Structure 1
Amino acid sequence: MTDTQMLLENRPPSVATLFLDRVAATPDAEAYRYPVPADSGEGPDDWRSLTWGESSRRVFAIAAGLMELGVRPEERVAIASDTRVEWILADLGILCAGAATTTVYPSTNAEETAFILADSGSRVLIAADAAQLAKARQRRAELPELEHVVVIDPEGALDEEGDGWVLSLAELEKRGEAYLAQHPAAVTDAVAAITKDQLATLIYTSGTTGRPKGVRLPHDCWSYMARAIQAIDLLEAEDVQYLWLPLAHVFGKVLTAGQISVGHITAVDGRVDKIIENLPVVQPTYMAAVPRIFEKVYNGVAGRARAGGAAKYRIFQWAAGVARDYAKATQNSMRLTGTPSAPMGLRTKHALADKLVYSKLREAFGGRLRACVSGSAALAPDIGYFFAGAGIHILEGYGLTESSAASFVNPGENYRTGTVGKALPGLEVRIAEDGEILLRGPGIMQGYHGLPDKTAEVLEPDGWFHTGDIGELSPDGFLKITDRKKDLIKTSGGKYIAPAEVEGQFKAVCPFVSNVLVVGGGRNFCTALLALDEPTILGWAAEHGLDGRPYAEVVATDEVRELIDGYVQRLNEGLQRWQQIRRFRILPRDLDIEHGDLTPSLKLKRPVVEREFAPLIEEMYAGSREA
């Protein structure tokens, strides 16, 4: 039996057990770093630390506090909070009590929050602040099973009801400490009683259509994920991870499981507007992100180069081309020979470009970044090659909420841009006749909560899960995702088009684009709705006589249309005739979560966007032969 097989087969029944093992092994090692804003509200944050031992004391107090409130094994406790260290401590507290965590995005509105709380049967809600509490308070009459709300930041969250319905996290921990004084073995006994098939987490898919579905993930899913991540050496004990992803999302959640198994440090701060400021402070060696972050960084670098004048922008364009060529050459060499290398002339250009451009980019990421993992959506290969050539290695991965997030990931130095890597050990994969990816293994969900018919649609009796994604496997096991099965477009001429592929290529070609949606199903040609990156296009506008105008006015000008048309024509040069974008419209605003255009994990809600901007779509097809 190999070391990997032993690691997986001897995994404990729960991540709660893993946590207790980690605390026992390295109680004094640093576990978490977290920011505390300055008292004045101005100036840099004060970053503080928790050791594994200190973390366990808080986790035990939260677990015992929930027991004191009457929470029993597998009963649900919801968390509605931004990403912060208390989210992780609360989640571990819930798991160590034997209960199950229901995750709620803090951006979720009151109606959908109430639906999730009611559908899950959550007995307690741990809310970030008064704003999250207000959502439950508005709908309290619809939530008879919700017995308490615990507020992390209690300011402004007074118990208006006066019946003990609301208490602070500090109060919960005090009650837990008192409970442990009377029942010292309560938490360890609860952890010892957890079975691998016991429900650990209910994660509601944000979904691109309809009501969210609660994905039932048992304790064994997280224990397996933690050990599988450890087995592939993706993380090292000396790593410092910067965690800002939403922990209500399965991608963020799996990172916490992997950390416990490996034992590295995690710096936690979910404030997206602080990422650029935090990177030089945290100096991470490892970070996970979604493609939109890398796209924004790329657009920002290109925009600053353009603002520096024509000569500086030419240098950037040259360096970007060199980075891509270098990445392709070294990855191809690695695949053929096992050693990354490039021709001498390219190495010379790369060394010069590194001094002029790449080294500054790496410093902006903190200067110590060993690797990034990108997931949740496809990363445009040209953007991936750019960062790879610049020495920022983006390891694309793939998984779904239903598969506990991490099913495939690119393997360290042997990664291949444009693929999502190889299957994690212990996971079976096959490609159906129609190209759909099917998965089977310990990370697959038990099913959708209370929805047996929906479960049966995607989960076969023998355990094979239908992902809904189309993909191809290379002979040596690297997976390439083509598109979502339901998102494939068939033109009226009978040609199939993968819109995500075209959209990704445009993001690599055009440094101004933020979001793009290709339309063409049942039509005789393709069109596109384009949303531009506001800071980047306004920077360009200031240089071209349009300074001071708002975004909506800038993007409506002939100058901007001509600018973007040039990039569309460049895109079309590399596409088959039936894939080409014949017409486009620039949207008067960017697509976002607030308007319902994107899921909280920044996936495009195609039906929503198409409905909202239907007049623009019809306008593009007006007068065509199909009209």
Structure 2
Amino acid sequence: MKLKEDMNPLLLQVFRSVVWVYSVITFLPWYFFSGAGTNLERARRIKARSISGHPAGPYRAINSQEKLVAWLHPGVDSLDKVFEYAARKFPERDCLGTRQVLSEEDELQPNGKVFKKVILGNYNWLSYDEAYQTAKCFGSGLAALGQKPRCNIAIFCETRAEWIIAAQACFMYNFPLVTLYSTLGPTAIAHGLNETEVTHIITSKDLLQSRLKAILCDVPRLQYIIVVDRKPTTWPDIPRGIMVYNMDTVQDLGSKPENSEGTFHLPKNPMPSDIAVIMYTSGSTGIPKGVMISHSNIIAGITGMAERIPNLDETDTYIGYLPLAHVLELSAELVCISHGCRIGYSSPQTLADQSTKIKKGSKGDTSVLRPTLMAAVPEIMDRIYKNVMTKVEGMSSFQRTLFVLAYNYKMEQISKGYSTPLCDSLVFKRVRALLGGNTRVLLSGGAPLSAATQRFMNICLCCPVGQGYGLTETCGAGTISEVWDYSTGRVGAPLVCSEITLKDWEEGGYYSTDKPNPRGEILLGGPNVTMGYYKNESKNREDFFVDENGQRWFCTGDIGEFHPDGCLKIIDRKKDLVKLQAGEYVSLGKVEAVLKNCALIDNICAYANSDQSYVISFVVPNHKQLTVLAEQMHVRGTWEEICNSTEMEKEVLRIITEAAISAKLERFEIPKKIRLSAEPWTPETGLVTDAFKLKRKELKSHYQEDIERMYGGK
């Protein structure tokens, strides 16, 4: 994974000699004062072990061999108590922050499109005590509007401070919170609201106007809509029988004497086993399923996550921008709240100085907030990686050579557990500034992260990348790699709240007795394993089970292998395995992970029919790279015409084939035909989930004509 060193051999040797002398002079004082020896020892230690002695497991973290850990603090066994604990311990500390919009204007782009551009001010903060009291009043107001304990209430809103305040209010008053992605289509939204029989929903003015209003007549039980924005205060075109309130109005209602302390609208403390959240997955297959998550499930999950973040405390700052309807973001924010961290809110459109909604010359959210903690999905990290490498290619020869040499030198050093403060300050400082320059832990989840991107983030952002593995069905908790572990392509050891067993999968050829490492389907067990799918008993019987010790387990469908140090690597997925006509098995996910590292590719979906002998692919090309390639090949036209060009398809296929051969893909795994897509795949298109996982069923339907053409049907 080293970068190519395009430099005169003599000068390269001189550089290496200088580096060697520098390393010798600085090594001993640095080694003893930096704690490098301790970090190296931590990286090499055994992190998990099979408690049965059998290679199938169950595997547990070394510090939870005797018993899994289920709570953060004694007696704090429900989410309302977690927030109360934090509010009492950190009453005056900043809790939730939002940037003020100073100005907003429309800006015409060269392609004729109009983008909204904003200039944002500093963050305005609510303290822990203020956030707690606001949530308490809001919960009381909801109760005054007829919301009952143990009766479902929905939230359909973008990630913002009001989302987490509303959630905390629901936790306090034991209102099970139904979460829906803001990018879901109308059918999925109506399905979730009707299945859970909600009468109250919390949303934003934008989503009410753009998505919710169109399906209100399809949700007959809905009576109350609470809009988190302060304006507008009236909605004349809402169907009869539905009342619309602003969040401030509901809070004021809850603060009235008749609805506050001393009345029947007091918080109704939930039991640990009560449902806290019914989380609808974004659905990589079919209609989204609602996952029932109890208070104790979430507390176990965040306990395991918090244990993997060293020195987590009230001095940390987290930037929240991923969908709070995703279990990764909700869990990450609850971890932060439980430790008194401050959370500043952002969005993918305002995250960095170069983000699409930030007016040129003004600062993005990371530059202002300078977070120490951040979560990201691989799609975002892949974009950073490709954008930086594109800029490196455009550097002068001297700058590019310096960057490559520093990159390769640092790669060698961190593989030994060493740091490179000089390279960090002289070469990688500007790259690190993309995320504010203060990040100490970056958590990746939601989908597999390629080894190349993970190593790039380690090196250029100067912080460890903790790759995690978890699912909505396990509260997002399963494994997270330790910050001292600088290996790539692995997801770490089981968290202290969970254990993992490998189940043999005969059809795929994966067995716990495999050498050198045991392999099989990942079964996740522990107090973080959720209560199951809402109103879906047949699926519950298929995916969940309880063992003879009363332990609850979830069958993930993912294939993993355990390394000798107890770390897990995800190597396949049962649903992604296709048997070709000649009997070869192709892992579509493996093909995609390899080819996505190609600079020419922004996204890719591999596809294969069992009655065919080869793999095909749909490719979203990188706009800049493909445009340059088209110029080199003298192919002219609009973006759509370039993507539809047979000549361009052939050339891109040639480049992809070379990349596949270089990555040692088998002959039958390499796509034989491709289709270039001019349209990017976003959650709004319905072709990927909010975590940017491919929706294979929707992609197959979308490209059905192309599939038939590539397989000779047309």
Q: Which residue of 650, 656, 675 corresponds with 1:585?
A: 675
Instruction: Find the aligned partners of 1:622 and 1:572 in 2 and give their Cα distance.
Output: 25
What are structure 2's unaligned runs of at least 5 residues? 1-62, 106-117, 354-363, 506-519
Kept in 2, the 8 Å contact 1:130–1:155? The answer is no
Partner of 1:363: 433
Instruction: Find the aligned partners of 1:53 and 1:548 in 2 and give their Cα distance.
Output: 61
Q: Which residue of 533, 539, 543 corresponds with 1:454?
A: 539
Kept in 2, the 8 Å contact 1:35–1:48? The answer is yes
Kept in 2, the 8 Å contact 1:502–1:579? The answer is yes
Q: Which fold has the larger relative contact order, with Cα–Cα distance below 8 Å and residues 6 or more apart in sequence? A: 2
How many angstroms does 1:341 deviate by?
A: 4.1
Q: Return the index of the structure with the highest Cα Rg.
A: 2
1:249-398 mapped onto 2 (5 Å cutoff): 249-276=326-353, 277-308=364-395, 325-326=411-412, 330-331=414-415, 333=416, 340-341=417-418, 354=424, 357-390=427-460, 391-398=462-469
Q: Which range is displaced more, 115-124 or 372-381?
A: 115-124
Which amino acid in structure 1 is aligned with residue 86 of structure 2?
A: R
Instruction: Find the aligned partners of 1:122 and 1:543 in 2 and give their Cα distance.
Output: 55
How many angstroms does 1:131 deviate by?
A: 3.5
1:28-177 mapped onto 2 (5 Å cutoff): 28-39=92-103, 42-132=118-208, 135-156=211-232, 158-160=234-236, 165-177=243-255
Which amino acid in structure 1 is aligned with residue 389 of structure 2?
A: A
Which amino acid in structure 1 is aligned with residue 464 of structure 2?
A: H
Per-residue deviation, residues 82-114 of structure 1 (Å, max 9, x unmatched) = 111111111111111111111111222333212
Which amino acid in structure 2 is aligned with residue 599 of structure 1?
A: T
Change beyond 3 A, Cα 1:45–1:551 = farther
* 2:502 paired with 1:438: no
Instruction: Find the aligned partners of 2:100 and 2:634 in 1 and give their Cα distance.
Output: 40
Instruction: Find the aligned partners of 1:479 and 1:611 in 2 and give their Cα distance.
Output: 34
Q: Which residue of 240, 263, 267 corresponds with 2:317?
A: 240
Q: Which residue of 596, 607, 632 corresponds with 1:519?
A: 607
Per-residue deviation, residues 533-581 of structure 1 (Å, max 9, x unmatched) = 335544x369759799542233345467535632431322322233233
Which amino acid in structure 1 is aligned with residue 77 of structure 2?
A: P
Change beyond 3 A, Cα 1:438–1:387 = same
Per-residue deviation, residues 592-622 of structure 1 (Å, max 9, x unmatched) = 2222210122110112212221333333333
Which amino acid in structure 1 is aligned with residue 493 of structure 2?
A: K
Instruction: Find the aligned partners of 1:259 and 1:615 in 2 and give their Cα distance.
Output: 48
Q: Which residue of 506, 529, 540 corresponds with 2:595?
A: 506
Kept in 2, the 8 Å contact 1:302–1:316? The answer is no
Kept in 2, the 8 Å contact 1:124–1:148? The answer is yes
* 2:282 paired with 1:206: yes
- Across the aligned residues of Structure 1 and Structure 2, the Cα RMSD in angstroms comes to 2.9
Kept in 1, the 8 Å contact 2:122–2:368? The answer is no
Partner secondary structure for residue 414 of structure 1: coil
Instruction: Find the aligned partners of 1:594 and 1:155 in 2 and give their Cα distance.
Output: 25
Instruction: Find the aligned partners of 2:301 and 2:268 in 1 and give their Cα distance.
Output: 22
Partner of 2:298: 222
Per-residue deviation, residues 480-515 of structure 1 (Å, max 9, x unmatched) = 11122111122222222222222112222x123111
Instruction: Find the aligned partners of 1:76 and 1:586 in 2 and give their Cα distance.
Output: 44
How many angstroms does 1:473 deviate by?
A: 1.5
Per-residue deviation, residues 431-475 of structure 1 (Å, max 9, x unmatched) = 001121101111111111111111111011332210111111123
Change beyond 3 A, Cα 1:504–1:320 = farther
Change beyond 3 A, Cα 1:564–1:299 = farther
Which amino acid in structure 1 is aligned with residue 143 of structure 2?
A: M
Partner secondary structure for residue 303 of structure 2: helix
Q: How many residues are paired up?
A: 603
1:187-202 mapped onto 2 (5 Å cutoff): 189-191=267-269, 194-202=270-278
How many angstroms does 1:188 deviate by?
A: 6.2
Which amino acid in structure 2 is aligned with residue 374 of structure 1?
A: S
Which amino acid in structure 2 is aligned with residue 229 of structure 1?
A: M
What are structure 1's unaligned runs of at least 5 residues? 334-339
Partner secondary structure for residue 351 of structure 2: helix
Partner of 2:91: 27
Partner secondary structure for residue 220 of structure 2: coil
Kept in 2, the 8 Å contact 1:80–1:103? The answer is yes
Change beyond 3 A, Cα 1:550–1:213 = same
Greater helix share, 1 or 2?
Answer: 1
Partner secondary structure for residue 43 of structure 1: strand
* 2:639 paired with 1:554: no
Which amino acid in structure 1 is aligned with residue 495 of structure 2?
A: L
Q: Which residue of 64, 72, 76 corresponds with 1:12?
A: 76
Instruction: Find the aligned partners of 1:601 and 1:268 in 2 and give their Cα distance.
Output: 18
Partner of 2:555: 466
Partner of 1:485: 574
Which amino acid in structure 2 is aligned with residue 387 of structure 1?
A: M
Partner of 1:337: none
Instruction: Find the aligned partners of 1:162 and 1:7 in 2 and give their Cα distance.
Output: 46
Instruction: Find the aligned partners of 2:426 and 2:649 in 1 and give their Cα distance.
Output: 30
Instruction: Find the aligned partners of 1:214 and 1:365 in 2 and give their Cα distance.
Output: 34
Q: Which range is displaced more, 78-87 or 499-508?
A: 499-508
Change beyond 3 A, Cα 1:9–1:268 = closer
How many angstroms does 1:301 deviate by?
A: 1.1
Kindly, what percent of the aligned residue pairs are identical? 25
Change beyond 3 A, Cα 1:502–1:476 = same
